Amino acid sequence: MNKMIKAQKGTKDILPVDAEQWQNLEFKALEVFSNAGFQEIRTPIFEATELFARGVGDTTDIVNKEMYTFEKSERSLTLRPENTAGVVRAYIENGMHRLSTPVKLWYKGPMFRYERPQAGRQRQFHQVGVEMFGIKEPAADAEVILLAVNYLKSIGLKDLDVEINSLGCPVCREAFRDNLRKVLKPELKNLCPDCQKRYETNPLRILDCKVKECKNILQKPEIQKIITSDYICEECREHFNDVQKYLDALNVKYKRNKLLVRGLDYYNRTVFEITSNNLGSQNAVCGGGRYDSLVKNLGGEDTPAVGWAMGMERLISLLPEVKSKKIKAYVVSNFTIEALKLTEELRSHGIITEFDMTNKKFTKQLEKASKVADFALILGEDELKNDSVSFKDLAGSKQETISRNEVFSRLN
RNA sequence: GCGGGUGUCGCCAAGGGGUUAAGGCCUCGGAUUGUGGUUCCGAUAUACAUGGGUUCGAAUCCCAUCAUCCGCCCCA
């Protein structure tokens, strides 16, 4: 035998047994998002590397160490690690700011990140997500969060935890960042190496460091004072309060998590995450927030936006397994032409039908039928003479001979 | 990039140095000759991740590599 070629590390085949689950997730997405006025957009799987560097942010891990980048004709291209940047690019490039506001889009598809695979993490994985452009008001944040909750409900996931926070705007966040740096400076040497880097690149991320020493340092009163202070400015606070007011009115349960800091640079104001306790350490099924400056940063009109993405593999791992549907009817006959014709006729009536193509012995065909189908339709010499069919319920042992026409009503 | 666990047929597995490496499931073939789901027989024509080493002898002990899983980082 030749050497086996295997699926690459961190990639998986989605086999027929799983396909039904995937189809259901996709179908429900179409249904729920359309209902809320979101339209599907499909963007390319690879884009100019620069799009992600500028869009996602060049201090992020995603851009720094996780991108699948390759050169072709002296262009640097990258397999998309997420889809917000791509959707924003398409929004700008296609002049979608001229469409009536808001522009509401959703997408699904594979994303690629070069990381060590583990539970709930693959190198090729799938996300479903929504983006809404053109609305700066907090109602947009609330609608988008509600949509996430509704989608999860529609696929059968309830009781997940919604956490929200506000990162403030560039102005107030910068002030907070400076304060944080100031108060952390004396402890800089005692922070873990990662946090020492974060101190430079994104000090907010130090807040959710899991290293014990860092956690202890953060407990110091003078540091706590900064962390717990409501640093965001008046306008940002009002925005955030409204978001919460709307969510309350919509009966969306959430927790405020002051340490929630998302890893992508483009977020401002509202950020949120939806997590589950049943996922191991990769516990987020949904992450998102507002990104009011991204469209402008990527060369478009200044356009506020808010959106989220969910990891489809993680959703599926939370869902109970489904048994695949059985074949409805199995035609048992040694008259191949007649079996073919009856099968085709049943299928044209929308009945899932198979017949035995190998023309095996009667008992063998019936044995097969009992394994894969609900009903056997026996078409032998006698039945052919009378233009009838023997209709056998394979769950029990009832069998009766009925006319051809009756078959369809029995099976519907 | 860093830590830890695990690799025996398509799947689940037993065996922890000694002649043909159990068993179960699935699949396929056969027996019961127009009646299946039970039973019985048989097959899957060289399955111990790979490469070294120790040994008279290795699936079993050692080393390396690879794969996979779990955790860190980060994210969905």
Residue A340: alpha-carbon gap to chain centroid: 42
Are A269 and A407 contained in the same domain?
no
Helices (H) and strands (E) in chain A, counts: 16, 16
Nearest to A258 by CA among A343, A344, A180, A371: A180
The rounded distance, in Å, linking the Cα atoms of A239 and A249 is 15
The rounded distance, in Å, linking the Cα atoms of A220 and A243 is 31
Would the Cβ of A87 be found within 7 angstroms of any atom in strand B?
Answer: no
Would the Cβ of A158 be found within 7 angstroms of any atom in strand B?
Answer: no
Is A30 inside a domain boundary?
Answer: yes
- Looking at A207, A231, A255, the residue that finishes a domain is A231
Would the Cβ of A145 be found within 7 angstroms of any atom in strand B?
Answer: no
Bridging pattern class, strands A39-40 and A103-112? parallel
Are A145 and A183 contained in the same domain?
no
Total structural domains in chain A? 3
Would the Cβ of A115 be found within 7 angstroms of any atom in strand B?
Answer: yes
The rounded distance, in Å, linking the Cα atoms of A177 and A167 is 11
Tokens of A55: 């869009």
Tokens of A122: 């693959």
Are A113 and A158 contained in the same domain?
yes
CA distances from A268 to A171, A186, A355 (A): 10, 28, 60
Nearest to A111 by CA among A151, A147, A67, A70: A67
pLDDT tens figures, A40-49? 999 999 999 9
Q: What local confidence, expressed as pLDDT, does residue A251 receive?
A: 94
Distance A368 CA to B23 C1' (A): 26
Q: What local confidence, expressed as pLDDT, does residue A343 receive?
A: 94
Q: What is the pLDDT along chain A (412 residues), one digit of tens a residue?
A: 456 678 889 999 998 888 889 999 999 999 999 999 999 999 999 999 999 999 998 888 888 889 999 999 999 999 999 999 999 999 999 999 999 999 999 999 999 999 999 989 999 999 999 999 999 999 999 999 999 999 999 999 988 999 999 999 888 888 888 888 888 888 877 777 777 877 877 787 787 777 777 777 777 787 778 777 777 889 999 999 999 999 999 999 999 988 888 777 789 999 999 998 877 777 899 999 999 999 999 999 999 999 999 999 999 999 888 777 778 999 999 999 999 999 999 999 999 999 988 888 888 899 999 888 999 999 998 899 989 999 999 888 789 999 988 999 888 7
Are A137 and A26 contained in the same domain?
yes
Nearest to A8 by CA among A112, A78, A79, A80: A112
Task: Give pTM, 2 decimals.
Answer: 0.89
Distance A23 CA to B62 C1' (A): 50
Are A248 and A208 contained in the same domain?
no
Is A6 inside a domain boundary?
Answer: no
Are A116 and A265 contained in the same domain?
yes
Are A108 and A68 contained in the same domain?
yes
Q: Sign (positive/negative) of CA torsion A142, A259, A211, A114?
A: positive
Provide the angle, in degrees to the nearest 10, between the axes of the packed helices A221-228 and A170-184.
180
Q: What local confidence, expressed as pLDDT, does residue A284 receive?
A: 92
Asked if A193 contacts A201 with a C-beta cutoff of 8 angstroms, the reply is no
Asked if A89 contacts A296 with a C-beta cutoff of 8 angstroms, the reply is no
Q: What local confidence, expressed as pLDDT, does residue A3 receive?
A: 62
Would the Cβ of A61 be found within 7 angstroms of any atom in strand B?
Answer: yes
Which residues does A220 contact at the CB level (< 8 Å), separation at least 6?
A: A187
Other CB atoms within a 10 A radius of the CB of residue A337 amount to: 8
Are A31 and A139 contained in the same domain?
yes
Residue nearest to nucleotide B32 (CA to C1'): A363
Are A155 and A270 contained in the same domain?
yes
What strand order describes the sheet that includes A39-40?
A39-40, A103-112, A124-133, A305-311, A284-290, A268-275, A161-166, A255-256
Are A89 and A219 contained in the same domain?
no
- Closest nucleotide (CA of A384 to C1')? B34
The rounded distance, in Å, linking the Cα atoms of A267 and A287 is 11
Q: A57 is in which domain, residue-wise?
A: 16-168+237-318
Is A217 inside a domain boundary?
Answer: yes
Give the angle subtended at the CA of A286 by the CAs of A138 and A154, to the nearest 5°: 90
Are A156 and A175 contained in the same domain?
no
Bridging pattern class, strands A68-72 and A161-166? unpaired
Are A145 and A282 contained in the same domain?
yes
Is A1 inside a domain boundary?
Answer: no
Would the Cβ of A283 be found within 7 angstroms of any atom in strand B?
Answer: yes
Is A4 inside a domain boundary?
Answer: no
- A377: domain CATH number? 3.40.50.800
Nearest to A84 by CA among A310, A301, A275, A308: A308
Q: Sign (positive/negative) of CA torsion A275, A201, A83, A101?
A: positive
- A241: domain CATH number? 3.30.930.10
Asked if A370 contacts A394 with a C-beta cutoff of 8 angstroms, the reply is yes
Would the Cβ of A211 be found within 7 angstroms of any atom in strand B?
Answer: yes
Is A88 inside a domain boundary?
Answer: yes
Nearest to A46 by CA among A128, A133, A131, A124: A124
Distance A312 CA to B6 C1' (A): 27
Is A7 inside a domain boundary?
Answer: no
Residue nearest to nucleotide B70 (CA to C1'): A118
pLDDT tens figures, A269-288? 999 999 988 777 778 999 99
Q: Phi then psi for A311, rounded to 5 degrees?
A: -90, 115
Which chain A residues 242-261 have CB under 7 A to strand B?
none
- Looking at A212, A231, A250, the residue that finishes a domain is A231
Would the Cβ of A185 be found within 7 angstroms of any atom in strand B?
Answer: no
Q: What local confidence, expressed as pLDDT, does residue A390 receive?
A: 93
Is A300 inside a domain boundary?
Answer: yes
Provide the angle, in degrees to the nearest 10, between the axes of the packed helices A138-154 and A16-35.
140
Q: What local confidence, expressed as pLDDT, does residue A1 receive?
A: 42
Nearest to A308 by CA among A162, A131, A166, A135: A131
Nearest to A264 by CA among A56, A106, A3: A56
- Looking at A216, A231, A246, the residue that finishes a domain is A231
